[in-house]
A = this chain, B = another copy of it.
Amino acid sequence: MKRYQALADTMAAEIRAGRLAVGTRLPSVRHLTTQYGVGQSTVFRAYYLLEEWGLIRARERSGYYVAPGATLPPQAPPPVPLTEPAPIDVSSLVFSVLDAVKRPDIVPLGSAFPSPALFPLARLAKSLAHAARMLDPWSTVVDMPPGNEQLRRQIALRYIGMGIAQPVDELIVTNGAMEALTLCLMAVTKPGDVVAIESPCFYAALQAVEHLGLRAVEIPVDPRDGLDLDVLAEALDKHPVRACWFMTNFQNPTGVTLAVEKKRALVALLAKHEVPLIEDDVYGELHFAQDRPPPAKAFDTKGLVMHCASLSKTLAPGYRLGWVAAGRHAGAIRRLKLMTSISTSIPIQAGIADYLQHGGFDKHLRKLRGALLAQRDAMEQAIARWLPPDVACVRPDGGYFMWLQLAGHVDAMQLHRRALEHGINVTPGPIFSARHAFGNHVRINFGHPWSPQIESAMKTLGTLLRAAS
């Protein structure tokens, strides 16, 4: 190992252990050359590495500071005991949070969506108009589930791009990923069954578990490492788990992506138990690194992974176009779809098929990823600038959410309410948990082009957080 790497590791350990708090100015280069007996260039290269890791941030003409998120968790979290499967009771809290999203006067840091201004709505309208004009009347019958064949071929092509040979006849078009996820859950469970979900967890999964009368065992998700496979293995041994519902890439709310090796291990573990995985991968295309992180589906050899995705976050918000690559459950899901919603809108399917063929999806995606990356950086800077140094978060490598851990005594629900009074929506941690845990966490959306309004909202949040201390 090179000297600068060793130095970076040493300093990273200091930072991660919390011995250098968030916002602390790092020692000067001169100080470090003396302390560690190394040359200036070694120190600089170590700094660059630490910056690349997201642990420190440079401020112009001021030096290096410990970055927000670098020290999460301040201490190792207490080991999470395996929860007993329990019925879910999501309070109306979720809805009060969601309702505020619709108000145009509210700064949408609590939104679940990126800004609709980031999408090629005019080009989509062109494809939709063309497809509607050309619509074969009989497509209203023929394109019923599993769905429009051209569209499913286009979707299958994208799987090839992920190294997955996806049979077209196992692809079922749905009304967004939400319907796909719900149908998967219905296909493999009956009321009273036990399912494994994440903690923290996309609240809609909690709601689905609730309204289908299932019981849930919660598997902890670490904001750096993702799902705890040891706890999952224990749950599978101990409970008759009928299905897992996990978000493998840029998880909502933590932003964490499961490493490839962990995905492989997850699929193998579930295959051993013959437990289906409902894989929610709606953010996978929003990666900031070069390559799209693969889904767990890529490692599935038994048809047990139901890979659910959509275009709602990547191309066409509001069109409600999603799908599931359903493996061995394709037949059951197609039938459930037919039963519960008959079909996905036929002109929408045809319009999206036209866009995917002619609209320049990949070019749009590159632009979108660039915009989200710039917004993430702006958000990180605003956090460093305005929020108290005891706010910690892990830098996400994709998607548009930051999961902030506030000081231990700060009540996220109270912050949510106070922020709303100031015209700002943030998503309080407790709505991501069946037991209303994460009482000192909030999820922040950076899916909107940076604006003075957002900057000012972050400043206000900082003021509210300091007042709460």
Could you list which residues of chain A lie within 8 angstroms of chain B, going by C-beta atoms?
92, 95, 98, 101-102, 104, 111, 113, 115-117, 119, 121-122, 124-125, 128-129, 132-133, 135, 137-144, 175-176, 178-179, 182, 186, 190-192, 204, 207-208, 211, 213, 312, 317-321, 335-336, 338-348
Q: Give the residue of B129, B213, B336 whose beta carbon is less than 8 angstroms from that of A125.
A: B129
Q: A95-B335, A102-B144 are in contact. Are A178 and B340 (CB under 8 A)?
A: yes
**Do A213 and B191 touch (CB < 8 A)?**
yes
* Apart from the given pairs A128-B132, A348-B348, 11 other A-B contacts in the complex at a CB distance below 8 Å: A104-B142, A116-B140, A125-B129, A128-B129, A129-B129, A129-B132, A176-B343, A182-B341, A211-B339, A318-B347, A347-B348
Asked whether, in the complex, the Cβ of A140 is within 8 Å of the Cβ of B104, the reply is no
- The residue among A92, A182, A348 with the most chain B CB atoms within 10 A of its own CB is A348
Q: A102-B141, A102-B144, A125-B129 are in contact. Are A208 and B344 (CB under 8 A)?
A: no
Shortest distance between the CB of A138 and any CB in chain B (Å): 6
Q: Which of these, B116, B128, B143, contacts A128 with CB under 8 Å?
A: B128
Q: How far is the CA of A338 from the CA of B141 in the complex (A)?
A: 27
CB pair B137 A116 closer than 8 Å: yes
Q: Residues of B contacting A139 with CB < 8 Å?
A: 318
Q: A104-B142, A137-B119 in contact; A341/B176 too (CB < 8 A)?
A: yes
> How far apart sit A74 and B455, CA to CA, in the bound complex (Å)?
79
Please, how many angstroms separate the alpha-carbon atoms of A213 and B190 in the complex?
8
CB of A354, distance to nearest CB on chain B (Å): 12
Q: List 7 A-B contacts (CB under 8 A).
A: A98-B338, A121-B137, A128-B129, A140-B318, A208-B340, A211-B336, A211-B340
Residue from the list B101, B137, B191, B319 in contact with A117, Cβ < 8 A: B137
Contact at A320–B344, with CB atoms within 8 Å? Answer: yes
Q: A102-B141, A104-B138 are in contact. Are A320 and B341 (CB under 8 A)?
A: yes
Contact of A179 among B132, B186, B341 (CB under 8 A): B341
* Alpha-carbon distance A5/B172, docked complex (angstroms): 59
CB atoms of A345 and B348 under 8 A apart? yes
